[in-house]
Amino acid sequence: MTFKELNIIEPILKALDEKGYTAPTPIQQQAILPALDNRDILGLAQTGTGKTAAFTIPIIQKLHLSKTKGGKTPIKALILTPTRELAIQINECLSDYTRHTGVRHCVIFGGVKQGAQVNELKAGIDILVATPGRLLDLMNQGIVSLNNIQYFVLDEADRMLDMGFIHDIKRLLPKLPKEKQTLFFSATMPADIATLSRSILRNPVKVEVAPVSSVVDTIDQYIYFVEKQEKKDLLVNLLKKDKSKSALIFSRTKHGADKIARILSQAGIGSAAIHGNKSQNARQRALSDFKSRGIQALIATDIAARGIDINDLELVIN
């Protein structure tokens, strides 16, 4: 199947071609046509399945085809996601896909001053990507209105639950118009998420994609039995064995992540930590340095690293 067979318009096809995307992934094949047909979607899919394009492409297409020239446009689409990093990634995808359309978008998240985000909002946008906290804050200030929302995406719903955002979601839902299209995505479906999905979706099309490949097929796994006091020496030795390998290291606590980063830096291994206590600028700088291989190791708490898109990652250490 090709993207053209999914009835995608030429400006978006051109953008996809420029990104080197030739064929839709299974989730895109299942979700794009019903989404273009204004159906609500219940998507069960993990990060890495192509779900961002599955929900953004139909929204961009419908906004592009209905767009009128001139004047400031109210926000027509809201994409809600749990973390700053995920929000930034989705906004980057929107930049790629909207390149040849007149559709405007921006991203808002906490941890940085709101001035630049507010200026973008005031200039007029069609699609808003947001984390719950900053969205509620700007709504309370009267800067963001959801009165004209036609398309609502709740992404990574199970992570919203894990991170304690469900109460924020429940505060936001009554602010949205009753008549809208809702696209709901979650990797898992615990009871609370199933109840939430039933309360906001109307006769949804269910799309479900198994993980791209099982862990056993694609990953070599090793376990090291080591005393606690020897763990840091083992970690340093593993990383020094092949300095060309990038390593994502998970720490249970924020304090532990900082401590590991210090140990590795003292051993001459380029590293940085990301977690909730770091400023957004520090987190983005660490992530950019890691992606560009400016540092060898990125140490993260589980919540901070969820959903981050990193190509060619050779080593993950828990």
Structure confidence by residue, pLDDT tens digits, 50-60:
899 999 999 99
Give the closest residue to 293 by CA, choosing from 310, 273, 281, 317: 310
Domain ranges of the chain: 4-208, 215-317
**Which pLDDT value is given to residue 190?**
85
Give the number of C-alpha atoms closer than 13 A to the C-alpha of residue 299, restricted to the C-beta side: 23
10 Å CB burial of residue 11 (0-12, 13-18, 19+) is middle
Instruction: Provide the pLDDT confidence category of residue 290 given band limits of 50, 70 and 90.
Output: confident
Q: Rounded to whole angstroms, what are the CA distances from 137 to 97, 147, 169, 301?
A: 28, 16, 13, 25
Would you place residue 213 in the very low, low, confident or very high pLDDT band (cuts 50, 70, 90)? very low
- Domain 4-208 shares a fold with domain 215-317: yes
CATH class, domain 215-317, is alpha beta
Q: What's the pLDDT tens digit per position in 256-284?
A: 889 999 999 999 999 998 887 777 778 88
CA distance 250 to 184: 28
Residues with Cβ within 8 Å of 292's Cβ and at least 6 positions away in sequence, in order, are: none
- The predicted-structure confidence for 150-197, as pLDDT tens digits, reads as follows 999 999 998 888 888 888 998 999 999 999 999 999 988 888 889 999
- Name the DSSP class of 221: -
Predicted confidence (pLDDT) per residue in 124-152, tens digit = 999 999 999 999 999 999 999 999 999 99
Q: Which amino acid, residue 137?
A: D
Which of 3.90.1300.10, 3.40.50.300, 3.30.450.40, 3.30.1380.10 is the CATH number of 4-208? 3.40.50.300
**Report field, pTM of the whole predicted structure over 0.85:** no
3-state secondary structure of 316: strand
Q: Contact 90/142 with Cβ under 8 angstroms?
A: no
Q: What is the pLDDT of residue 221?
A: 86
Phi, psi of 45 (to 5 degrees): -155, 140
The H or E element that residue 250 is part of is: strand 247-251
Find where tokens 């957004």 sit: 280
